[in-house]
Structure formats: C-alpha cells, structure tokens
Amino acid sequence: MSLIIGRPHISLKNLNVYYGHLQVLKNITLDIPDRQITVIIGPSGCGKTTLLKTLNRLLDSVEGVRVEGRVLVDGEDIYSPGVEVTRIRKKMGLLSQRPQVLPMSIYDNVAYGPRIHGLKNKQQLDQIVERYLRIAGLWDEVKDRLSEPASRLSLGQQQRLCLARGLAVEPEIILGDEPTSALDPQSSQNVEKCLLSLKSQYTVLLVTHILRQARRIADYIVFLYLGEIVEHGPAQEVLNNPRDPRTKAYLSGEIS
C-alpha cells in the first residue's frame, strides 16, 4: 500500500543521475507527500545526498553530472529549459551535514536571503529575523548579540541558525542532509523538535543514516539502496513490516 494523503508535493519520474559513466540514481519514481516528514534511509554511498541535491539543482554545479527523467515540484518540471534556478532554490531550504553559516553576523545570516530577494525595509527585516530565529528556537539565546559573528555560536546553535536562515526566504520545502550528524545529542534533539513543529506548514525531506532518528520523526520512509528505491511507504509500515528482504536486512543492521 503506497498511501499518500492529498496530492504529492514533489514527484520524481524515472529519474536517472550519472556521474560520468557511473550511474548513481537508477530509475527513481517517487511521490513525496505534502506537509509530512519524509525520511530517506540507506547505507552511505547509496545516493541519498545526490537525490537531495537533484531536487534543488545544486547538482548543476558538479562537473560531469547528467540528469535524466523528470522532477516535478508543484507540478512544474524543474529541469525543463527556461526554469529559473534561483526561484526553484528559493522554494527549498537546505540544511547540510555540517552547519554552514555565512561569514557575517547572526542578524545578517538570517537577513541574507530576504535581502538578495529584494527586501530592504529595516523594520520588516527585523521582524523576519526575530520571527524565524524564534521558530528555530534560537531567539532567546542570541537576541542580545545579533551583531556578533555567527561563527562564534556553537555547532548546534549554528545549525538552528541555518534553519532560520533557510526559513527566512519562505520556502515550501525543507531539505535536510543528515542535519544532525555533526551535532551533540542535545542539539540533535533540538533540531528534531524544530522539524516536527514545522511539518504542519512545510514539506520536510530528510536524509539520515540514523535509524532511531527515522523512527522518531518520519511519517513516510524511503529506503534507498545502491541507487535504487527498494521500498517506500508510511513509516510504521516500512519500519515494522518491511516487505523486501533487503529492507529487513538493513533495519536489522546486517547491511550498513
């Protein structure tokens, strides 16, 4: 049973991705449900990150990459010629493995996105910075030192700052590439809590190799193995009653 409530937010149709002659993603067809947390699990090197980068076209800048097939976001093929890459990327906030703050103050990090998209009004910027720092659960910790360099924050705080920065451009989708892998347990929990509170308004797509994390937050699970989708479905179903022997093997720790 491939149960999706409502229309899918992102649809992949026969997606193939090649690095030179090496095929990294093989014939991926997948619907990602709207406003739920979809978690992609799978051993390292199975193409999880590539899949994520295909969605916001960050793959464009990598040398020798070829993308075939269709990626529909809100029904629009984002790889069709004439599509503005910046508009596609604005729809998706990205959390990377290591938090990557920009070389500027805490305030400027959050205001960076709105500013490049044309917002100049100081009052509105102030509001945006406060609103999204609050959503990311960082406001109380940084409200008195907004002009300090973002690089002085702890890693956990930096990741939440990155979340606030991503949300500030008002995306519809949040992409997370193992966003807690560089963080301590407490910070990881904070980030997870944030993501759970955000799913009522955003479609969240998360890559992780931590099974427990998938169990804690996933609504929908995709198991990727050697560039192929082995199994996908509602989280409880895939995690508790996997159908494919490879999924069983991965969940029980035999493949890692």
Partner 1 sequence: MKWRFLEEKIFRAVMIIATSLTALILILIIGTVVVKGFKALKLEMIFRLPQGGYYFGREGGILNSIIGSLQLAGGATILAFFFSLPIVFYLNYFSKSKSIWPTLIRFSLDVLWGVPSIVYGAFGFLLMTWFGWTASLLLGIITLALLEIPIMSRAMDEVLKLVPPDLLEASFSLGATKFETAWKVVIRQALPGILTAILIAFGRAIGDAASVLLTAGYTDNITTSLFQPVASLPLAIFFQLGTPYPEVQQRAYAAAIILTLIILLISYLSRRITRRYAKHLVF
Q: Give the C-alpha separation, 195 to 176, whole Å.
A: 10
Number of chain residues interacting with partner 1 (CB under 8 A): 31
For position 205 contacting partner 1 by CB under 8 A, the verdict is no
Q: How many residues does the chain have?
A: 256
**122, two tokens:** 């100081």
Nearest to 256 by CA among 3, 36, 12, 43: 43
- Min dist CB 28 to partner 1, Å, is 21
Question: What track of x and - describes contact with partner 1 for positions 83 through 112 (by CB under 8 A)?
Answer: ---xx-xx-xxx-x-x-xxxxxx------x
113 vs 242 by CB, closer to partner 1: 113
Pick the closer one to partner 1 by CB: 105 or 180. Answer: 105
- CA dist., res. 208 & res. 187, Å (int): 16
* Residue 93 or 234 with smaller CB distance to partner 1: 93
Does residue 151 touch partner 1 according to CB under 8 A?
Answer: yes
Q: What is the 3-state secondary structure (H, E, C) of 25-62?
A: EEEEEEEEECCCEEEEECCCCCCHHHHHHHHCCHHHHC
Interactions with partner 1, residue window 24-63 (CB under 8 A): 56, 58, 61, 63
| Cβ closest to partner 1, residue 112 vs residue 139 | 112
Contact between 56 and 94 under an 8 Å Cβ cutoff? The reply is yes
Give residues 226-255 in contact with partner 1 (rule: CB under 8 A): none
Q: Which CB atom, from 37 or from 111, has the smaller least distance to partner 1?
A: 111
Amino acid at 136: A
Question: With binding defined as CB under 8 A, does residue 162 bind partner 1?
Answer: yes
Number of H helices and E strands in the chain, helices first, is: 10, 10
- Contact positions with partner 1 (CB under 8 A) in 165-194: 165-166, 169
Query: Which of these segments, 42-50, 71-79, 164-172, 244-252, binds partner 1 (CB under 8 A)?
Result: 164-172
Q: Which two tokens stand for residue 169?
A: 């451009």
Q: Which is nearer to partner 1, 58 or 229 (CB)?
A: 58
Residue 127: what residue type?
Q
- For the four alpha carbons of 190, 191, 196 and 199, in that order, the dihedral sign comes to positive
For 136, the token pair is: 């990311």
Can you tell me which of 71, 150, 207, 217 binds partner 1, judged by CB under 8 A?
150
Is the Cβ–Cβ distance between 78 and 15 less than 8 Å?
Answer: no
Q: Which residues contact partner 1 by CB under 8 A?
A: 56, 58, 61, 63-64, 86-87, 89-90, 92-94, 96, 98, 100-105, 112-113, 116-117, 149-151, 162, 165-166, 169
